[in-house]
Amino acid sequence: MSKLADAIKRNQRTEATPMGFGAARPAAKPSMLVGFLGAAADLEKARDAGAEILIIEARSSGGLDKLLGASAELPADAFKVDPSKTAAPGGIFTDPDVSSAKALKERGFDFMIFDAGATLAAATLDEDLGYVLALSSHEETFLRSLGALQLDAIYYGDMPSPLTVAKQLEVMRAASLAGKPLFVKVAADVSNEDLQCLRGAGVVAVLVAASGDVSKVKETVAALPARKARKDDARPVVSLPRGGALHSADISRRGAFQCGEIALWPAATQLGLSKRRAFIVRDQLASLCTTRLGGA
């Protein structure tokens, strides 16, 4: 797992509420990550400002070769990890060839953002490197096919402005069909309300282009109200068939699961459940369905 994937997982994880009268409640953590996407020269400033994701824009002609060679803009130790500190995952936005992709890991890059139409498939074979796809098509078949790729996230691009309901639905549709968390680039003056709408649409990280904007956006994110689960997504729903009673002997556990219409994945996403935990919940629901049918 890349550091980026781990950072997303930790940020979206729902912490259990401490039990007991004397238990202290932990401070609420920000519900979105704030990252930097810009020039290599501003990398250290963005890191000092508290950026939780660091991405170098290197799509310009010769940009990648310059960074991988002797570059005054990007020191060789720019992404070396200090074990005593929590290092922000470092990535690069580029379309590398196979040799350049291998060199990225050697230079300390944790992940790369790439364009599907400009990047060779062979350049995405390194399992130690994280991958974020820059969205270039909103066609349904394309979005659904992304689920088969080992992607940590999808870079949606700039936040639609103004963020109308129709535009929010487009963002939500991309996250839903692709089944991946989204990154969106925002302005420094992005509003609290727009961030709430992006968060509800499946955006887990917002990126800024200037290192000086990191602190301001982090303050806005920190002021967001706690994420609330919708009533219809708060728990899995089991719809039992009407009519004559069935007995547990006549129905298998698999059949019990299939006989009900179980809205599992929306609930799992809202609750921050891992895939393994979601399957455990599924089996428990199937068992409950069997029990209820047998006692009908």
User: What pLDDT was estimated at residue 296?
Assistant: 47
Same domain? 21 vs 132: yes
Q: Region 220-239: what's the mean pLDDT?
A: 67
Residues of the domain holding 263 = 229-296
Same domain? 52 vs 168: yes
Same domain? 158 vs 236: no
Same domain? 75 vs 51: yes
User: What pLDDT was estimated at residue 215?
Assistant: 96
Domain final residue pick, 222, 244, 274: 222
Same domain? 71 vs 184: yes
* Non-local CB neighbours of 17 within 8 Å, separated by 6+ positions: 25
Residue 271 confidence (pLDDT) above 70: no
* Percent above pLDDT 70 for the chain: 63
| Both tokens assigned to 63 | 């940009």
pTM tops 0.85: no
Query: φ, ψ for residue 165 (rounded to 5)?
Result: -60, -40
Residue 242 confidence (pLDDT) above 50: no
User: What pLDDT was estimated at residue 254?
Assistant: 43
Q: Region 1-28: what's the mean pLDDT?
A: 71
* Non-local CB neighbours of 165 within 8 Å, separated by 6+ positions: none
Q: How far apart are CA 184 and CA 14, in angstroms?
A: 22
H or E stretch at 207? strand 203-208
Tens of pLDDT along 77-130? 555 444 334 478 999 998 888 888 888 888 888 999 999 999 999 999 988 899
| Both tokens assigned to 25 | 């409640």
| Both tokens assigned to 204 | 């887990």
For residue 114, the domain's CATH number is 3.20.20.60
Exposed/middle/buried for residue 154 (C-beta within 10 Å: 0-12, 13-18, 19+): buried
Q: Region 252-262: what's the mean pLDDT?
A: 41
Exposed/middle/buried for residue 56 (C-beta within 10 Å: 0-12, 13-18, 19+): buried
User: What pLDDT was estimated at residue 65?
Assistant: 66
User: What pLDDT was estimated at residue 71?
Assistant: 47
Contact 245, 296 (CB under 8 A): yes
Residue 251 confidence (pLDDT) above 80: no
Same domain? 149 vs 205: yes
Higher pLDDT, 98 or 268: 98
Same domain? 275 vs 197: no
Contact 206, 224 (CB under 8 A): no
Contact 221, 193 (CB under 8 A): no
Higher pLDDT, 6 or 78: 6
Higher pLDDT, 67 or 206: 206
Most confident of 28-42, 69-83, 88-102, 131-145: 131-145
Tens of pLDDT along 36-46? 999 888 988 99
Q: How far apart are CA 156 and CA 70, in angstroms?
A: 32
Cis peptide before 83 (omega within 30 of 0): no
Split into its structural domains, the chain has a count of 2
Most confident of 133-142, 251-260, 272-281: 133-142
DSSP state of 8: H
Q: Region 262-268: what's the mean pLDDT?
A: 51
* Non-local CB neighbours of 185 within 8 Å, separated by 6+ positions: 37, 157, 158, 159, 206, 207, 208, 209
User: What pLDDT was estimated at residue 70?
Assistant: 46
| Both tokens assigned to 135 | 């969205």
User: What pLDDT was estimated at residue 87?
Assistant: 77
User: What pLDDT was estimated at residue 154?
Assistant: 97
Q: Region 237-245: what's the mean pLDDT?
A: 45
DSSP states along 259-271: HS---HHHHHHHH
Same domain? 207 vs 279: no
Same domain? 151 vs 288: no
User: What pLDDT was estimated at residue 97?
Assistant: 84
Q: How far apart are CA 108 and CA 6, in angstroms?
A: 16
User: What pLDDT was estimated at residue 102?
Assistant: 85
Domain final residue pick, 169, 196, 222: 222
Q: What is the mean pLDDT of the chain?
A: 77
